[in-house]
Structure 1
Amino acid sequence: MQRVKSVGDIVDSQCTRCKALLNHTIVAMVAGQVVRVKCNTCGSEHNHRPAKEAKEPKPAATRTAAARTSSTGAAPRARAGRAPAQSDESIWEEMIRPLDPDHAVPYNMAGRFKTNSLMAHPSFGTGVVVSCQSGKVEVVFKTGRKLLRCGC
């Protein structure tokens, strides 16, 4: 049996000043519920914040090949009409091979760039311009694709 709590009793509460779960003295109760408490450590008075119950972590769901099959038993769909995805580094190597790195234009946010031209960026290195849109240019660098601001 649990004893009924009343004003003046000690209860655990999350202190708003100490930022910790500490002992508090009950100051006010409404309909048998603790509403206001006073921290026994720092003396601050605030609304009662009960201790949160720890949630049990859910086991990570792993998908097996059997789980990926549909209810009819069919195998998972392959990408229709697409070749396996290439890494950005391999795409960059293919695109930069025919171009001369000495002709790379330094990146400037107000600069204008042409498709299939080289760009020299201070952080990302040498890249190939893939497309120019209004105010943006997409560039493939060795580390990946970047969308940069430009004066296009």
Structure 2
Amino acid sequence: MERRTLTAGDMVDSQCTRCKALLNHTIVAMVGGQVVRVKCNTCGSEHNHRPAKEPKAAAVKGVKAEKVAKTPRTRAAKAPAVSDEAIWEAMIEPLDPDLAVTYSMDGKFKPNTLIAHPVFGTGVVAACQSGKVEVVFKSGRKLLRSAC
């Protein structure tokens, strides 16, 4: 059976925006052989052509696609605190704990200076950056604000 080409004035099924249903429409405008604008024969509204949607292929019952077992995402494990503790012990060994400077955000610190922090305890300044110091404490490395 031959399929006739559509022209303006022909009938076509389209999804009506007002009726919210697939109904007969009259073609109002075409561009390049494609239906562009239609008029609903039920309510009389004119709108862009919305062709009938293709039904989705039904999956064969009983046959399920194998699900790929996914491993749950976890954060990357940090290096154990033992290594930070070993570094701290090596850095603090040659220094005298009685000479530790009390930490303050306005203080200026140089590398290999001993610091007494009210929360983290005794630490050694590892590096100075603009406005920050990296301090090695027994619990790990911390980046603290300073006037460096």
TM-score (norm 1): 0.46
TM-score (norm 2): 0.47
